[in-house]
Structure 1
Amino acid sequence: MRVDVVLLLYSSWILGACVLVSGADRILRFSEQGTFKILQVADMHYGNGASTGCSDLTATQMPFCSDLNTTAFVRRLIHEESPDLIVFTGDNIDWAASDAKVSMDAAFAPAIESNIPWAAVLGNHDVESNLRRPELMEYIAQLKNSLAKVIDPPAEGVYGWGNFYHSVLGPAGADTENLSLLNLYFLDSGDNSKLPGIKGYDWIRRSQQIWFSNLSQKLRAASSAPALAFFHIPLPEYDTVLYRDQISGRQLEDVYSAPVNSGFFSTLLESGDVKATFVGHDHINDYCGKLMGVHLCYGGGTGYHAYGRVGVERRARIIVATINEEVQGHIPNISTWKRLDDTHMSKIDTELLYSKASEVQPLFRTFAYRKGCSWPWNPFKYPQGKCTFWASVIYTAVVTLLSIFAFMSGFLVHRHRSKKLLKSDYKPVSTTDSKVID
């Protein structure tokens, strides 16, 4: 074989390998069936693999559990759901990782080996190993099939590492194959506050919000596609939404957001295209709540090294966008559900998040299992400080009936006394019996 032919083939192989190394240029698009499915994996907290133990399991489960259980669960999720995109929403590794690169390779291995495009943002614990945030995101961005970027589109002075977006185009061969039908925003919510005197978690900064607003305006000018946003630390509004009725899933711990409200939720409302946000951070919260037209959703904790609660299965969230052009043109419906790491990979809390046709209620909803609910008259509280919607309804009904009974009892007693008084010998003083003084 000629040397130049060999060199040409070798160069082609090298080029192909380079294309496989990074997925940054891969095009996301809806399937021929008109669907696009996202698997959200939150809070793996990967350490050193088999040598890293698990948290909050039963005494019989604990000795046999390690990071490998997290890996096995993510593989099962990929096999069960066959997603078009996998999104890791932060705290992918933590302090237990001796070498951040080695641990990230293992944590993202199920996504890498599946050949499915994936993206990741950073959480507050990712920096606890031996790499800083810039180095972490630069490494993630160059991994095989990774769609993560340090920043895209580029802009000067934008805080954070991992502010980027991707558009999902219409099905190949369709009229919309070059049109974005769904936009995905990814933002770096930081780790801890950098301001002196303010302790607690970080927040999405003003420079990021300006970057987001400019990008959103550009995308909305190109199409009317709805959008989803992914980041790690929940907004303060994740707590606000708990006092609304439209909640599905569980709240088993407090909302640990930043100590200050940066106003990013207002920025989302002003943009108008984001229909739902998806976060991690609080592992045993997995609810979705609708606030002013935007759904605020937790993914639920996936990792076994991360804290959880005994008896509460690890879980992950699925998001599906579906096009039905006969009903609503090119604008997709967006629905979601969760999968549990149990024997049957149980599917729970299916609900419709967005539809152009109308404002909708969840297709199926389990009322939120809440910690410290704020219902009228302080509802029943079950062990571990949790209360349920129906307990609140029953308690309110009981108190209402008791109030009605007390009122009626008082009314009847008053009426009885009035009748008794009328039957007595008491006679009012007449005006003729009174002395008139000139």
Structure 2
Amino acid sequence: MAALEHSHSLQAEAFLFIVLFATTAWVVSTATAKSVPLPPLRFKSTIGKFKILQVADMHYADGQSTKCEDVLPSQFSTCSDLNTTDFVKRMIKAEKPDFIVFTGDNIYGVDAKDAATSLKAAFEPAISAKLPWAAVLGNHDQESTLTRKQVMKHIVPMEYTLSKVNPHGKKIDGFGNYNLEVKGMKGSKLEGKSVLNLYFLDSGDYSTDPNITGYDWIKASQQAWFKETSAKLQKNYKSNPSAQSESAPGLVYFHIPLPEVKIFGSSSIIGVKQEPISCPLYNSGFLETMVQAEDVKAAFTGHDHKNDFCGKLRGIELCYAGGFGYHAYGKAGWSRRSRVVVASLEKDIKGGWKGVQSITTWKRLDDEHLSKIDTQTLWTKTRMSSFED
């Protein structure tokens, strides 16, 4: 009997060991999976393209219980935040983007009972699709249970995101100022260099200056960081003997449009302008900063949901995405929409890949066919490469 009891005891201990080992291994595996950094963004397709999906103004709140705004009477009874989620998923399936950018007012803080829960639901389609994504803040993200800084700190550890609170070691205004590099094709002469530079800035929420009302603006400290970063990227790119003589192009993403956008009339834009430009009353000079940097080809914003146009000013395309979210003001009968941007590499005569040749854009509507509209070229390289093919 004693021998039998001893045998059972050993079996129980062995079973416990196996359970503990399996549990520990699962925990370690899970932790490791979340801590492993994502690979760098890269022109990984054999066709030499990199596609970015911009999602502006989701205004996500509490899911199915959150009703839509400015939709047709026939839509209202069944329309909720889930329509926004479904639109993101449809766009991912249709466009198969390499990267997603969420340009602020990702959640509508006033109506979101718990910011963390709303943020998780808002970004869930990108995470489920295992796509790299990044976000900046708008003027409503901080109005729930998390401060502006806390919202950005909550976003950064989420799965598949490349978002950052701010550059390491830099004292800078706002939360969510950072850059990402898109590397050249694997196996090409530029595989170790960024051939497309992406900049993200926190355009703030509301002015804290007692003498200036209205919306916030991109501050001097942010612009100083931007200029320094742009200069470093351009120097690094040009140091490669296989690089083009001109700089790698840059794209900039933030939420609130610049004051200069007000000058565009209907004859100088592609898209529609259906509401006044809700920009800062103070002009901090960021357009001039981008012009002087010499690498920026386009800047993309959200904020004004009924505007979806691009207009060119001083060599830079200033583009709205158009309102995406259903729990946000819009225009009944005017479809929610999203902007897509594609950078295409130049091919050399030997069949290899060089730097970016062109940048194009279009929008898709959340209608039955995900209609594609307003295709346009934002930028095309005109200068010759500095090396022979």
The TM-score, its normalising length taken from structure 2, stands at 0.87
Please state how far the C-alpha of 1:25 moved relative to its aligned partner.
Answer: 4.2
Equivalent residues of 2:60, 2:81 under 8 A apart: yes
Q: In the alignment, what sits opposite 2:147?
A: 132
Query: Structure 2 vs 1, CA of residues 182 and 263 (structure 1 numbering), >3 Å: closer, same or farther?
Result: same
Unaligned runs of 5+ in 2: 1-13, 238-246, 384-389
State the superposition RMSD in angstroms: 2.3
Farther-moved stretch of structure 1 (97-106 vs 19-28): 19-28
Please state how far the C-alpha of 1:164 moved relative to its aligned partner.
Answer: 0.5
Q: In the alignment, what sits opposite 1:269?
A: 291
Secondary structure, in 3 states, of the residue corresponding to 2:77? Answer: helix
Q: In the alignment, what sits opposite 2:323?
A: 301
Please state how far the C-alpha of 1:14 moved relative to its aligned partner.
Answer: 4.9
Equivalent residues of 2:299, 2:318 under 8 A apart: yes
Q: In the alignment, what sits opposite 1:34?
A: 48
**In the alignment, is residue 170 of structure 1 matched against residue 170 of structure 2?**
no
Equivalent-residue separation in structure 2 for 1:179 and 1:66 (angstroms): 43
Query: Structure 2 vs 1, CA of residues 20 and 259 (structure 1 numbering), >3 Å: closer, same or farther?
Result: farther
Equivalent-residue separation in structure 2 for 1:281 and 1:291 (angstroms): 19
Aligned residues: 356
Q: In the alignment, what sits opposite 1:17?
A: 30
Please state how far the C-alpha of 1:153 moved relative to its aligned partner.
Answer: 4.5
Q: In the alignment, what sits opposite 2:260?
A: 237
Equivalent-residue separation in structure 1 for 2:265 and 2:273 (angstroms): 12
2:304 aligned residue (282, 286, 292): 282
Equivalent-residue separation in structure 2 for 1:357 and 1:17 (angstroms): 48
Q: In the alignment, what sits opposite 1:149?
A: 164
Secondary structure, in 3 states, of the residue corresponding to 2:291? Answer: helix
Q: In the alignment, what sits opposite 1:191?
A: 205
Equivalent residues of 1:24, 1:141 under 8 A apart: no
- Give the fraction of aligned pairs with identical amino acids, expressed as a percent: 50
Equivalent-residue separation in structure 2 for 1:12 and 1:273 (angstroms): 47
Equivalent-residue separation in structure 2 for 1:185 and 1:5 (angstroms): 49
Secondary structure, in 3 states, of the residue corresponding to 1:128? Answer: coil
**In the alignment, is residue 247 of structure 1 matched against residue 261 of structure 2?**
no
Deviations 1:284-341 (A, max 9, x none): 1000000010000001100000000011000000000011223894133110000000
Letter in 1 for 2:358: N
Q: In the alignment, what sits opposite 1:434?
A: none
Deviations 1:151-210 (A, max 9, x none): 125312x10000001000012222221111100000000000011131100000011001
Equivalent residues of 1:23, 1:144 under 8 A apart: no
Deviations 1:86-113 (A, max 9, x none): 0000000111100000000001110010
Equivalent residues of 2:155, 2:163 under 8 A apart: yes
Equivalent-residue separation in structure 2 for 1:21 and 1:246 (angstroms): 47
Please state how far the C-alpha of 1:244 moved relative to its aligned partner.
Answer: 8.1
Deviations 1:256-304 (A, max 9, x none): 0001000010000010111000000000100000001000000110000
Equivalent-residue separation in structure 1 for 2:17 and 2:201 (angstroms): 46
Equivalent-residue separation in structure 1 for 2:111 and 2:285 (angstroms): 34
RCO comparison, higher one (Cα < 8 Å, 6+):
2
Equivalent residues of 1:331, 1:356 under 8 A apart: yes
Query: Structure 2 vs 1, CA of residues 227 and 153 (structure 1 numbering), >3 Å: closer, same or farther?
Result: farther
Equivalent residues of 1:24, 1:148 under 8 A apart: no
Report matched runs for 1:32-431 at 5 Å: 32-94=46-108, 95-156=110-171, 158-223=172-237, 224-240=247-263, 242-243=264-265, 245-326=267-348, 329-357=354-382
Secondary structure, in 3 states, of the residue corresponding to 1:126? Answer: coil
Deviations 1:5-29 (A, max 9, x none): 9999877765653454368643100
Equivalent residues of 2:266, 2:272 under 8 A apart: no
Farther-moved stretch of structure 1 (8-17 vs 344-353): 8-17
Equivalent residues of 1:121, 1:162 under 8 A apart: yes
Equivalent-residue separation in structure 2 for 1:117 and 1:164 (angstroms): 15
Q: In the alignment, what sits opposite 1:425?
A: none
